[in-house]
Amino acid sequence: MKNRLKVLRAERNWSQQTLASRLGVSRQSVNAIETGRYDPSLPLAFTIADVFGMAIEEIFLRE
């Protein structure tokens, strides 16, 4: 699944570790989501949306 996570993180000058800490996941998990190797669970997707103050559909895109 495509996503805008890397762009949104960069706009805020957050490292992968910073975002991972906010989400309660590992830095490796953030990297895997950003590169499309891992699709987050629905609860994690909602948490990501909350952290960025956006709707899930604004972050995760259909391919």
Report the C-alpha gap between 51 and 23 in whole angstroms: 8
Q: Structural domain of residue 51, as residue ranges? A: 2-61
Give the chain's domain count: 1
CB 31 within 8 A of CB 41: no
Q: Which residue pairs, CB below 8 angstroms and at least 24 apart, start in 28-32?
A: 30/5
* pLDDT beyond 90 at 57: yes
What is the Cα–Cα distance from 53 to 9, expressed in whole angstroms?
12
| pLDDT tens-digit readout, 4-44 | 999 999 999 999 999 999 999 999 999 999 999 999 999 99
Is 63 a residue whose pLDDT tops 80?
no
**Structure confidence by residue, pLDDT tens digits, 31-42:** 999 999 999 999
> What is the domain-level CATH number for residue 11?
1.10.260.40
**What is the rounded CA–CA span in Å between residue 50 and residue 23?**
10
Cα distance between residue 9 and residue 13, in whole Å: 6
